[in-house]
Amino acid sequence: MELEIKNLSKSFKKITVLNNINLKMSSGNIYGFYGRNGAGKSVLLKLISGFYIPTEGEILFDNVNYNLKLEYPPDLRALIEKPNFLPDLTGFENLKLLANIQKKISDNDIVNALKIVNLYEEKDKKYCKYSLGMKQKLGIAQAIMEDPKILILDEPFNGIEEKTVKKLIDYLKKEKDKDKLIIISTHIKEDLNKLSDKIFIFDNGELINK
């Protein structure tokens, strides 16, 4: 998979939040998006995921512009900003509800995702009883459970204990070796240094290294 972003800009109510972004990414790599909060990282991730339409420019997946087709990019899963689920369902029930949309995976696949993020013991607890870290783990579990070819994680380690962070870093490195394209966005550069093959630095809506 080749992902190319060409001359990309995004504005909201005449305020430019991303300005002329150009970059290329390919499968078999982990890319880090680094910058302070408000630098435009999350907006770019939403554009890549198809949640926003660019004001200018284009996003190409193997030379296909899915914005023009009014379609979401195929085989892409993401956790962007704070995860949110149905409060009165358990962690497992929330994931099962999402899995039923495409019916690609089994209950065992859901359980395996919960085990990867060290949330299996809390799978039958209602989401409204989850701590910040548990909510974050469930968000990561929903992103990885269907084994996507493109994985986007925005501030994935927020509120998660060190033991699980180390486990997730090992998991992501193994997934990269399966020829996946992984994007990690954070304002903590140490996390990216442990993971990334290349780091893109953003400031005030612009890519300041290429």
81-94: pLDDT as tens digits = 888 999 999 999 99
Span 1-17, pLDDT tens digits: 999 999 999 999 889 99
CA distance linking residue 26 with residue 113, whole number of Å: 24
- The CA distance from 46 to 12, in Å, is 14
Classified as helix, coil or strand, 194 is helix
Torsion, Cα of 138, 45, 71, 135 (10° steps): 10
- For domain 1-75+180-210, give the CATH superfamily: P-loop containing nucleotide triphosphate hydrolases (3.40.50.300)
Q: Which two tokens stand for residue 102?
A: 């495409």
What does the pLDDT average to over 162-167? 95
Cβ atoms within 10 Å of 144's Cβ, excluding its own: 21
Name every residue whose Cβ is closer than 8 Å to that of residue 76 and which is 6 or more positions away in sequence.
48, 49, 50, 148, 149, 150, 151, 152
Bin 35: left if φ > 0, else alpha if -120 < ψ < 50, else beta.
left
Span 91-104, pLDDT tens digits = 999 999 999 999 99
Of the pLDDT bands very low, low, confident and very high (cuts 50, 70, 90), residue 142 is very high
| E-state strands within the chain | 2-12, 15-26, 29-34, 56-61, 76-79, 150-154, 181-186, 198-203, 206-207
> Residue 210 — very low, low, confident or very high, per pLDDT cuts 50/70/90?
low
**Pairing mode of beta strands 76-79, 15-26:** unpaired
Tokens of 174: 């193994």
Please tell me the predicted confidence (pLDDT) of residue 114. 98
> Which pTM does this prediction carry?
0.94
Confidence of residue 39 (pLDDT cuts 50, 70, 90): confident
Q: In the chain, what are the domain boundaries?
A: 1-75+180-210
pLDDT band at 27 (very low <50, low <70, confident <90, very high): very high
Question: Residue 140's CB: how many other CB atoms inside 10 A?
Answer: 24
The torsion angles phi and psi of 152, rounded to 5 degrees, stand at -120, 125
